[in-house]
Amino acid sequence: MTNTSQKIFNNKMEYKKENINSILTINVANLIKNYNKLKSTNSKAEVAACVKADAYGLGCIKICKILLENGCNSFFVATSEEALSLRKKFKNINIFLLNGVNDQNTCLKMIKENIFIVINNVDQLNIIKKVFILNKKKIKCAIHIDIGMNRLGFSFEQFKEIYDGIKNYLNIKLVMSHLTSSEIKNSSHNLKQLNRFKKVIDNFFFLKSIKYSLSNSNGAFLGKKYCFNMIRAGGFLFGLDLSSENKGNPVLSLKTKIIQINSISAGNGIGYGSNFITKKKSVIATLAIGYADGLPRNYKGYILLNNKKAPFVGNISMDLSCIDITAVPNLKVNDWVEIFGNNVSIFDFAKYSKTITYEISSKIGNRVKRVYNYNI
């Protein structure tokens, strides 16, 4: 490896023998720091982890193990498949199924595996009721009340109307809702939704040993009054903060290999469609990463090598992409380069992709090896 690539990625060549071309490195120490930072916002509120979509692309099982070792015992997933996969590995954690169930068989599986079903609407409630009639046992669940997201959840008026008819077969462990604009500290929506949620709580006074949850990660930084009994932490844990004010520690770094270097004369096209034409003699490096690995096809950014920009040129394809390294000498085939991380932040990467960090991390493909670094 050259001096240039050693600065970019120092891995003692342990991945060369595995023929690995792209690596997502997870900084475990910073992940734990972010978790503890959220815990410090309110010592009385439990910090649960949202690990849907394979923990936002970081690897659900490994991330849950790390967080469990650091005191986290409640986890939220989106689908029944995610819930069952998590339960298979961890027998004693609390698992909440955010999207609920849409058929009786799935409902029975969740009950058997002691998974808390989040009930979002009357259709899901009717399924729960039918299962109760079969089992004659109250079903442990969470109730999702919509206070402005207008995505999932009962309206509170709707839930009040039906509660008397359903309370005999529900064992409600959590009442939850979701802030729409918590990343914008001064948004008027935050206080409006807080007051709506307080009214929801006032109407659940008859339930004992129940928890309430309103805040996602950014909601926790709005103040203790937003935290209630549980904070549902997501992107902030993984260094994907959407707020410009609440900054966590960086967690992710994506690197890939150069697999070919060509010297190309002026007037030649690069990639599909030849949408980029060289204006002068250029040195073009082909990288072993494409949109199947999570590099957006519309990405218009660059790689920073020795403080010099190496822009992406030509259309990004499924497995490959190209950068112009004319201004960066001494690179060679099999050198590692960083797509995002220490040089180009994941926030800038997302900006050049015209999206948010959450989408970037959750779309990183399975061909990219996840490496959990405890020593960064």
Catalytic residues: 52, 272
328 exposure class (CB count in 10 Å sphere: 0-12, 13-18, 19+)? buried
* Contacting residues for 308 by C-beta, under 8 A, at least 6 apart: 327, 328
305's tokens? 């090598």
Which helix (H) or strand (E) is 285 found in, with range?
strand 282-287
Rounded to whole angstroms, what are the CA distances from 299 to 21, 218, 321?
A: 19, 27, 10
* Contacting residues for 331 by C-beta, under 8 A, at least 6 apart: 2, 4, 5, 258, 261, 285, 305, 325, 337
E-assigned strands of 79-162?
94-97, 116-119, 139-146, 154-155
CA distance 86 to 4: 41
- Tokens 């992107």 belong to which residue? 235
CA-only gyration radius of the chain, Å: 24
Q: How many residues belong to the chain?
A: 376
Three-class secondary structure of residue 254 per DSSP: strand
